[in-house]
Copies of this chain bind each other. A is one copy, B any other.
Amino acid sequence: MLIRVLGCSAGGGFPQWNCNCRNCSSVRSGKSNFKTLTQSSLAVSGDGKDWVLLNASPDLRQQINVAPALAPNNGSARSSPIKAAVLTNGDVDHIGGLINLREVQPFTIYATRRVLDVIESNCVFDILAANVVPRTPLELGRPLQLTGAGVDLGLTAEAFDVPGKIALYLEDPSAGMRFGTQVGDTIGLKISDPATGEAFFYIPGCAEVDEVLAQRLKGASLVFFDGTLYTDDEMICQGLLDKTGSRMGHISISGSLGSISALRNLGVERKIYVHINNSNPVLDESSQERKAVEAAGWEIGYDGMEVRL
């Protein structure tokens, strides 16, 4: 498998259009220890020819334009090596990019029934006519062979529920602490290549590593994981937003309940943070937090990062 990080930022990107925090103003002014990031998405290929998107961020057009492997490649007037998109939730930073995939080009959208319902109830996504772009529901715990535009992509996707939250714009304030969140609103993915036996996990949004998830990740070759915030209250402390990470459905990197701690003894071979918020101090390559993360055996993903498995 060949995996490309199309975008490594959380929703809003880095810099974020309206943000003047230390990180955003530093990257905007071109400081050498900061790199711009587009929004959260990976692409994966079994054969290096046909590709599956894992989430479709609003920056997708820009992400495709800088990835030669994703350009039309079969010589006909209209074509694309992108044959499927698998979605992990209904956040705008994970589904908004679908509208870039218009122009009557066949591919398959995979998501849970909950997320497909969101897409089907927003007529703006009808720009992808369902007879050209079929939607296939993911059932939790059932590995599914990925296909698109008549091509067997040689990969399987297994969706599993992870602790998380319904998309922000779907929150029901009257529904208590969980805002109407149901099973299927936030999933992780295990992508496998049956031909080689290789597999990796992609979990860009996760509120907590519970025992079920810890057992699942034990001994994995590769995990891309939610690196939204370094500390739970960093957005409040920086005066950016009056919400903690846990309120937003994201575990922190640091702390006794954080992801470094939770994955420390699971024997995962390679651990890469993705979905990194603009407030996160690890985006400063010279920061103590960056050094601490790397010392703990994690990598910080970046746009255009490629990993072979």
Set of chain B residues within 8 Å of A218, measured between Cβ atoms = none
Set of chain B residues within 8 Å of A105, measured between Cβ atoms = 17-18
| Shortest beta-carbon distance from A285 to chain B in Å | 20
Instruction: Tell me if A92 and B127 are in contact (CB < 8 A).
Output: yes
Q: Could you say which of A76-84, A222-230, A250-258, A291-299 contacts chain B?
A: A76-84
Say if the beta carbon of A11 comes within 8 Å of chain B: yes
CB-based nearest B residue for A90:
B124
Instruction: Tell me if B127 and A168 are in contact (CB < 8 A).
Output: yes
Set of chain B residues within 8 Å of A104, measured between Cβ atoms = 241
Instruction: Tell me if B102 and A11 are in contact (CB < 8 A).
Output: yes
| Shortest beta-carbon distance from A309 to chain B in Å | 26
Set of chain B residues within 8 Å of A238, measured between Cβ atoms = 77
A: contact size bracket: 35 or more
Q: Could you say which of A56-64, A140-148, A191-199, A207-215 contacts chain B?
A: A56-64
| Shortest beta-carbon distance from A3 to chain B in Å | 20
The copy count of this chain in the complex is 2
Instruction: Tell me if A96 and B124 are in contact (CB < 8 A).
Output: yes
Instruction: Tell me if B169 and A123 are in contact (CB < 8 A).
Output: yes
Instruction: Tell me if A65 and B122 are in contact (CB < 8 A).
Output: no
Instruction: Tell me if A102 and B12 are in contact (CB < 8 A).
Output: yes
Q: In whole angstroms, what is the CA distance A80 to B18 when docked? A: 5
Contact A65 to B103, CB < 8 A, known contacts A20-B79, A77-B20, A240-B77: no
Say if the beta carbon of A72 comes within 8 Å of chain B: yes
Set of chain B residues within 8 Å of A123, measured between Cβ atoms = 118, 121-122, 169-170
Q: Which of A19, A95, A101 has the largest count of B CB atoms less than 10 A from its CB?
A: A19
Instruction: Tell me if B75 and A20 are in contact (CB < 8 A).
Output: yes
Instruction: Tell me if A20 and B168 are in contact (CB < 8 A).
Output: no
Set of chain B residues within 8 Å of A79, measured between Cβ atoms = 18, 20
Instruction: Tell me if B61 and A239 are in contact (CB < 8 A).
Output: no
| Shortest beta-carbon distance from A211 to chain B in Å | 33
19 contacts between A and B (CB under 8 A): A15-B71, A16-B103, A17-B80, A18-B72, A18-B78, A19-B77, A19-B78, A19-B103, A20-B77, A20-B78, A58-B61, A95-B124, A96-B96, A96-B124, A103-B241, A121-B123, A122-B124, A123-B170, A124-B169
Q: 9 closest Cβ contacts across the A-B interface?
A: A126-B169, A20-B72, A18-B80, A18-B105, A127-B169, A122-B122, A77-B239, A92-B99, A122-B124
